[in-house]
């Protein structure tokens, strides 16, 4: 995708929406703002939907006018999409186009600069704000490089969870080589280690040493709690568990309120990944009541009469009419994903997910995304959806349904989400592509379970996932599975925890089962 800067500017420059931060978000804004004023450090952990980019926008808005002549704010992000998102927010701070062209620079690989060419020009003494991807090197004007001029950069690093120590300084590498570390004004980092997915094996094994955010957190713990630091080093406690119990005494803030996940679904990731600290301000009952007032009952009744969709359509209708927030569809299979070593596509889960996506999008008229850990699963499910759309003459749904991988959904959200679980077992092979993905990266499940703003559906076998997680000592996965089960009103029992007791048939998540 190519982002047209001229179009972005003229659409967003007239935006007059006011942002008022409260609670920990306001505290985090003050922490970062003071860091900029005092040339200091700020580290903010932001779970899903807590407004990390909005926080940085507010900091920039409050700080621009207070910068000295030689100070520059450098906002870095890992993708062009995030750079474009921040650019959209910044436009209204520069209602005069000439001032915008003079004081702002935007660097990325997917931007059209027509009529705004100066935005990709070198840094001059008049530039106050740089918005860039973290792999883009910035160039500086001759006046900026003069020996008697000492620049000072305030680094605002977004989505820093996966950032190696060195990468975020690539944009200012030239000035670092010329003037040394004295050009660093403040270092401000926002991210979430519990969403650090798709790491290479080197960084996954040595993340506390080589990932920027976790390295800083380790240093803060070492300074504030030396004994706790030793326990982390000796693997007696996980770094993030230690921080939730004993947060650093300074430089750190935890954003504790999500504005995305409807209650009570935030409890799943809160208890599994955030020490129970995350809460939501989105009333799940209100969300589902709004859906109940506006859904298309006519098309839902039509799909209920189609034999292959009938059961799924009845489930969606029950969710809406009984004011629940979603579904856990348990898939009891002898051989999920057929070949436990190699196969990354499961036809049963694909059929269930595709059916729900068609019905949800048609009935709610809201955008719906299916998220799978595997590319193979995403491709095959997408083909199945196309087939269903053609079969039932629902071509309008082509624009309302996406199928994607967890990696592609990082930082994203959608109204309706269908999370298709990957392999819930481990394999005998430790070859990277074959070893079960959740137990390499427990954070993947966190991303899958935290993208929804409306109806939320989980398809898979939580009992098996819970059992394997227990054996592998992956407490986050085990807790997440138990939390989804709790909200579904079920309990797993038996030696392998594969049998199910229904405790509450009226629970927040509707429970259904496919038994092969």
Residues 264, 504: contact at Cβ < 8 Å? no
Mean pLDDT (whole number) for 76-85? 92
Q: What digits encode the pLDDT tens for the residues 230-248?
A: 999 999 999 999 999 999 9
Tell me how many degrees the CA angle 297-413-313 measures, rounded to the nearest 5. Answer: 25
Q: Is the dihedral of CA 23, 29, 34, 39 positive or negative?
A: positive
CA distance 173 to 164: 15
Answer whether 211's CB lies under 8 Å from 239's CB: no
Contact 255, 195 (CB under 8 A): no
Side-chain-side CA neighbours of 3 within 13 Å: the count stands at 20
**Contacts (Cβ under 8 Å, ≥6 apart) of 230:** none
pLDDT surpassing 60 at residue 341? no
Task: Say whether pLDDT at 63 is over 70.
Answer: yes
Provide the token pair at 100.
């915008």
By the 10 Å C-beta count (0-12 exposed, 13-18 middle, 19+ buried), 202 is classed as exposed
- pLDDT on residue 432: 44
Compute φ and ψ for 372, nearest 5 degrees.
-125, 150
Please provide the DSSP assignment of 387-402 as one string.
HHHHHTT-GGGGGTEE
Confidence (pLDDT) at 380: 95
Q: Are strands 499-502 and 490-493 parallel, antiparallel or unpaired?
A: antiparallel
pLDDT of 497 > 80? The answer is: no
Strand order in the sheet with 416-420: 401-405, 368-372, 416-420, 456-460, 326-332, 509-515
Which range, of 8-12, 198-202, 348-352, 415-419, averages the lowest pLDDT? 198-202
User: Residue 16 and residue 77: Cα distance in Å, rounded?
Assistant: 25
pLDDT in tens, 255-285: 999 999 999 999 999 999 999 999 999 999 9
- Reading phi first (left if > 0) and then psi (alpha if -120 to 50, else beta), residue 277 is in alpha
Q: Which two tokens stand for residue 265?
A: 């679904």
Q: What is the CA radius of gyration of the chain?
A: 24
Both structure tokens of 350: 């694909």
Q: Which residues of 362-401 are buried (b: 16+ CB within 10 A; e: fewer)?
A: bbbbbbbbbbbbbeebbbbbbebbeebbeebebeebeebb
Q: How far apart are CA 423 and CA 441, in angstroms?
A: 13
What per-residue confidence (pLDDT) applies to 21? 94
Q: What is the pLDDT of residues 132-143, one digit of tens each?
A: 998 877 777 666
DSSP string covering 430-470: --TTTS-HHHH-THHHHHHTT-BSS-EEEEE-HHHHHHHHH
SS3 state of residue 386: helix
**CA pair distance 134, 170, nearest whole angstrom:** 7
Residue 508 tokens, joined: 């927040």
Q: What is the overall mean pLDDT for the chain?
A: 90
Q: How far apart are CA 182 and CA 226, in angstroms?
A: 29
CB within 8 Å of 123: residues ≥ 6 apart = 72, 105, 130, 138, 139, 140, 141, 144
- Please name the residues in contact with 210: beta carbons below 8 A apart, sequence gap of 6 or more: 164, 165, 202, 203
pLDDT exceeds 90 at position 37: yes
User: DSSP per residue over 167-180, as a string?
Assistant: GGGGGGHHHHHHHG
CA–centroid distance for 280 within its chain:
16
Nearest by Cα to 192 from 122, 259, 256, 283: 256
Residue-wise pLDDT tens digits, 152-209 = 889 999 988 887 766 666 666 666 556 555 667 899 999 999 998 877 666 677 787 8
CA distance 161 to 191: 5
pTM of the model: 0.91
Tokens of 192: 């979430």
Residue 95's pLDDT is what? 96
What span, in angstroms and rounded, lies between the C-alpha atoms of 40 and 83?
24
Taking the C-alpha atoms of residue 219 and residue 214, their distance in angstroms, rounded to an integer, is 9
Peptide bond into 264 cis (omega under 30): yes
Structural domains in the chain? Answer: 3-15+40-255 (3.40.50), 266-270+277-515 (3.40.50)
Of residues 469 and 299, the one with the higher pLDDT is: 299
Helix (H) or strand (E) holding 232: helix 226-233
Q: Could you count the other beta carbons within 10 Å of the beta carbon of residue 505?
A: 9
């Amino acid at each position: 995708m190519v982002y047209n800067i001229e179009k972005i500017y003229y659409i967003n420059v007239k935006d007059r929406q006011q942002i008022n931060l409260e609670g920990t978000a306001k505290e985090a804004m003050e922490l970062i703002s003071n860091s900029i004023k005092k040339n200091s450090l700020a580290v903010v952990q932001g779970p899903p939907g807590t407004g990390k980019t909005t926080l940085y926008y507010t900091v920039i808005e409050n700080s621009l006018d207070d910068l000295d002549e030689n100070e520059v704010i450098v906002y870095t992000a890992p993708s062009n999409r995030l750079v474009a998102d921040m650019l959209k927010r910044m436009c209204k701070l520069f209602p005069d186009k000439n001032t915008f062209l003079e004081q702002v620079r935007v660097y990325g690989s997917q931007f059209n600069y027509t009529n705004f060419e100066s935005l990709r020009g070198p840094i001059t003494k008049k530039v106050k704000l740089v918005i860039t991807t973290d792999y883009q090197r910035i160039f500086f004007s001759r006046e900026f490089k003069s020996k008697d001029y000492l620049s000072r950069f305030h680094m605002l690093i977004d989505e820093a969870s996966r950032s190696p120590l060195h990468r975020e300084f690539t944009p200012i590498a030239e000035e670092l080589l010329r003037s040394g570390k004295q050009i660093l004004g403040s270092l401000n980092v926002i991210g979430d280690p519990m969403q650090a997915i798709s790491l290479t094996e080197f960084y996954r094994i040595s993340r506390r040493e080589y990932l920027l955010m976790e390295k800083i957190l380790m240093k803060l713990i070492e300074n504030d709690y030396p004994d706790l630091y030793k326990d982390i080093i000796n693997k007696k406690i996980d770094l993030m568990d230690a921080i939730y119990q004993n947060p650093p005494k300074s430089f750190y803030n935890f954003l504790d309120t999500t504005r995305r996940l409807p209650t009570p679904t935030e409890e799943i990731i809160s208890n599994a990944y955030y020490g129970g600290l995350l809460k939501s301000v989105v009333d799940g009952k209100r969300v589902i009541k709004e859906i109940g007032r506006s859904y298309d009952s006519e098309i839902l009744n039509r799909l209920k009469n189609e034999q292959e969709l009938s059961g799924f359509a009845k489930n969606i209708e029950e969710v809406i009419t009984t004011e629940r927030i979603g579904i856990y569809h348990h898939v009891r299979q002898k051989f999920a994903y057929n070949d436990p070593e190699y196969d990354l596509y499961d036809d049963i889960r694909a059929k269930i997910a595709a059916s729900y996506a068609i019905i949800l999008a048609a009935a709610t008229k809201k955008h719906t995304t299916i998220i799978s850990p595997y590319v193979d699963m995403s491709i095959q499910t997408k083909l199945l959806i196309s087939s269903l759309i053609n079969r039932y003459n629902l071509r309008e749904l082509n624009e309302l349904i996406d199928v994607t991988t967890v990696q592609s959904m990082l930082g994203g959200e959608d109204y309706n989400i269908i999370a298709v679980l990957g392999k819930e077992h481990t394999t005998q092979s430790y070859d990277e592509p074959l070893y079960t993905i959740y137990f390499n990266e427990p954070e993947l499940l966190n991303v899958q379970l935290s993208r929804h703003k409306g109806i939320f559906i989980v398809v898979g076998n939580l009992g098996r996932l819970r059992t394997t997680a227990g054996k592998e000592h992956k407490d986050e996965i085990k807790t997440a599975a138990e939390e989804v089960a709790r909200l579904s009103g079920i309990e797993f029992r038996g030696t392998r925890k594969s049998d199910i007791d229904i405790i509450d048939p009226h629970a927040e998540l509707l429970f259904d089962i496919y038994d092969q």
